[in-house]
Amino acid sequence: MRRASLINALRRVLRGYLFTIAGIAIGVAGIVALGAMAERIVRFIEGGDRFVLGQISVAGRGMGMGAGFTAGGLLPAAAVEAIRKVDGVAVVQPQVMLPLNPSTSQFMTLTQELVLGMDLSVPSPNRHYRTLPVQEGRFLREGDRRKAVIGASFAASRRLAVGSRLELEGQPYEVVGVLERMLTAPDRFVIVSIEDARDQWVSKDRLLRTVLASGGVALHAQDLNTGAAVGWREGEDPDVVARRIRDRVAGVNVQLPSELSSLLRQSTAFFSALLVGLGLLAFVIGGLSLANTVAAAVFERVRDFGVKRALGATDWQLGGEILAEALAVTVSGGAVGIVLALALGHGIDGWARRSGQQLFLFSPRLLGGTLVFSMLLGAAAAAYAALRIVRLSPAEAIRRGSAA
Amino acid sequence: MPPETVLTARGLVKRFAAPAGAPIEVLAGVDLVVRRGELVVIEGPSGSGKSTLLNVLGLLEDADAGEVCFADRPVSTLGRGAKSRERGRWLGFVFQSFLLLPALTALENVLLGARYTTGVDAERRRRAMALLERFGVGERRDHHPAQLSGGEQQRVAFCRAVLNDPPLLLADEPTGNLDDANGEVILESLRARAREGGAVIVVSHRPDAAHGAHAVYTLAGGRLRPH
């Protein structure tokens, strides 16, 4: 009996509020979809920030072939050794970071595909990424040659998996691991041993090849580093250690973690502003749409509320009823809106993933926050409308409702 | 057992703002007493203020002056919540345009008042069903107002008005939207209500509405004049 009346009540609400729920769903879907795009950008920026704050990045002074945060001139082995001796330095990992395709402009490219060569004999100096999370297969080990661990987006865009073969500068590589999707730079990395990366560098850079072939410069394989990641000892201030390296080692560009973080934030300031704008716009438009829909749904039933008061309903009973219905309708509309946005986002991402992109990030905080926001806004709109309505006498409410 | 005097109205005045000029005085000192078992009919031309008077008597609208008492207890000065409770306890309404809630079935409409006053229990539900059966709309209990004829809707509205067995029934042009046959069913139901001991006030244009009435008044110039 109780179940039947509950089902009847649900049917009544759905029938009476179908268009309201649809209106709310569209507003909420807008908030969630735009919010998910903003979340995606935030995750990218936060990921990069976390990475650069976890290590001191050093490159050789000048310009070179390197890319990414260690871009600069050559960082020879002697310089690496000199850095190791600086007080407060715990570990130095020489690295080679190259654009996968040198013809690709970095202009307006936040997610350039990079080859990262790591000296695997040295543990990762990055405090926030002691290991990169591997989704499938394994990470590289010392002694691995012609083996690669690839980022999730890189794998998706090229349909690569563990065991696939990959050709880099004419050499075959075996994919031994695929990283988890991190929604930040490593998603588009190809990670190889530093020895392999050096080979690729020489192969890519005709000038370097010519210099090496001439024998005019005393250059060894260990000198071919585009930079190094430096870890600091426990209790040391990374900025102080970075300044110490800058003072004591000649011919290097040292990025203070805090400076690099601020540089990263400056370079992404446009996107940050854009996403704040997007988020605000989504909340204002979606919120107004939702509040307007709920308030209109209450106002259009002014006659019904007049009748109910004529039959003995008190303001509190009506207020509670309006609020409960508004919450039920807002939650239903919110849930439908979230499902709509998820379907839309996953559909678009399914298409974008073919080129290794992901445009939406539906985080729990976004979904939960939107639902709570919708409920609060729906309740506020319903309360506003209810206050306006209960101020009318029952006769006036019936008159207005009948005239509408 | 309800007291002998159900409703007393003294010196009711109601004015409405006019678009220009002085306010229009629709009620200019109305006095009325209605006792148990009485059927009172109020007639008058359109716009004379009959519906306004019924609204004021039914606490649906406040008067600018005067007093309404239920069983000699002043109720027109009560707060909004208390007025709602008094309406639920003392009054049943039958409106010209039925005023059934479109989203509810006939049975749910009948039980609507009980939802806010006595609560809906099995006994109340049985009584609602019995009323619908008595007025020939029992088989239409699960239909929505849009699926009912005008006569059926008014019979459902009548059932709603009497479900809680209120001491006073107020009917505003209850036959205004009905054909003669359905109108007669409703008028006879109102007469029967008075015979059963309830007090009934009917505002109507129909000449036959006064048939069987204990008192018939005409509202003109803002005052009630007995026939």
Partner residue facing A304 (CB), from B80, B81, B101 = B101
pLDDT in tens, A153-201: 899 888 999 999 999 999 999 999 999 988 777 888 999 999 999 999 8
pLDDT class of A404 with cuts at 50, 70, 90: low
pLDDT in tens, B192-201: 999 999 999 9
pLDDT in tens, B45-80: 888 999 999 999 999 999 999 999 999 899 999 999
Q: What is the pLDDT of residue A220?
A: 81
User: Which residues of chain B does A313 touch, with a Cβ-Cβ cutoff of 8 Å?
Assistant: 84, 88, 115-116
pLDDT in tens, B106-149: 999 999 999 999 999 999 999 999 999 999 999 999 999 999 99
User: Which residues of chain B does A310 touch, with a Cβ-Cβ cutoff of 8 Å?
Assistant: 58, 60, 87, 93, 99
Q: What is the mean pLDDT of chain A?
A: 85
Check whether residue A105 and residue A225 sit in a common domain: yes
Look at residue A54 and tell me if it is in a domain.
Answer: no
Chain B residues with CB under 8 Å of a chain A CB are 55, 58, 60-62, 80-81, 84-85, 87-89, 93, 95, 97, 99, 101, 103-104, 108, 112-113, 115-117, 160
CB-count exposure of residue A162 (10 Å: 0-12, 13-18, 19+): middle
Q: What is the pLDDT of residue A109?
A: 47
Q: What is the pLDDT of residue A358?
A: 81
Check whether residue A134 and residue A274 sit in a common domain: no
Cα–Cα distance for residue pair B48/B59, rounded to 1 Å: 19
pLDDT class of A16 with cuts at 50, 70, 90: low
Check whether residue A91 and residue A204 sit in a common domain: yes
Look at residue A139 and tell me if it is in a domain.
Answer: yes
User: Which residues of chain B does A312 touch, with a Cβ-Cβ cutoff of 8 Å?
Assistant: 84-85, 87-89, 113, 116-117
Look at residue A51 and tell me if it is in a domain.
Answer: no
Distance from A379 to chain B by nearest Cα, in Å?
22
Check whether residue A233 and residue A319 sit in a common domain: no
pLDDT over threshold 70, residue B153: yes
Q: Do B116 and A12 touch (CB under 8 A)?
A: no
Q: What is the pLDDT of residue B3?
A: 57
Using alpha carbons only, give the angle B162, B164, B167 rounded to the nearest 5 degrees: 70
Q: What is the CA radius of gyration of chain A?
A: 30
Q: Do A312 and B62 touch (CB under 8 A)?
A: no
Q: What is the pLDDT of residue B14?
A: 95
At what angle are helices B122-134 and B150-162 packed, to 10 degrees?
140
Q: Please give the average per-residue pLDDT across A47-62, as a whole number.
A: 83
Residues 281-340 of A with CB under 8 A from B: 303-304, 307-317
Q: Please give the average per-residue pLDDT across B163-192, as a whole number.
A: 90
Check whether residue A211 and residue A322 sit in a common domain: no
- The CATH number of the domain holding residue B146 is 3.40.50.300
User: Which comes out higher in pLDDT, residue A401 or A304?
Assistant: A304
User: Which residues of chain A does B80 touch, with a Cβ-Cβ cutoff of 8 Å?
Assistant: 314-315, 390
* Nearest C-alpha neighbor of B100 from the set B47, B55, B51, B141: B141
Assessment of whether the complete model's pTM goes beyond 0.80: no
User: Which residues of chain B does A396 touch, with a Cβ-Cβ cutoff of 8 Å?
Assistant: 61
Predicted-complex ipTM score? 0.93
Structural domain for B49, as ranges: 5-226
Q: Please give the average per-residue pLDDT across A254-283, as a whole number.
A: 79
pLDDT over threshold 90, residue A263: no
Check whether residue A197 and residue A288 sit in a common domain: no
Q: What is the pLDDT of residue A107?
A: 43
Check whether residue A6 and residue A70 sit in a common domain: no
Q: What is the mean pLDDT of chain B?
A: 92
Q: Is A280 on the interface with B (CB under 8 A)?
A: no
Q: What is the pLDDT of residue A242?
A: 94
Q: What is the pLDDT of residue A186?
A: 84
Q: What is the pLDDT of residue A342?
A: 95
Q: Please give the average per-residue pLDDT across A54-70, as a whole number.
A: 71
Number of structural domains, chain B?
1
Number of structural domains, chain A?
2
Check whether residue A11 and residue A106 sit in a common domain: no
Q: Please give the average per-residue pLDDT across A210-237, as a whole number.
A: 85
Partner residue facing A312 (CB), from B95, B97, B116 = B116
Check whether residue A19 and residue A121 sit in a common domain: no
Structural domain for A160, as ranges: 62-250
pLDDT class of A108 with cuts at 50, 70, 90: very low
Q: What is the pLDDT of residue A64?
A: 59
Check whether residue A12 and residue A126 sit in a common domain: no
Look at residue A55 and tell me if it is in a domain.
Answer: no
Check whether residue A98 and residue A221 sit in a common domain: yes
Q: Please give the average per-residue pLDDT across A33-55, as a whole number.
A: 82
- Across the strands, what pairs with B168? B91, B199
Check whether residue A85 and residue A187 sit in a common domain: yes
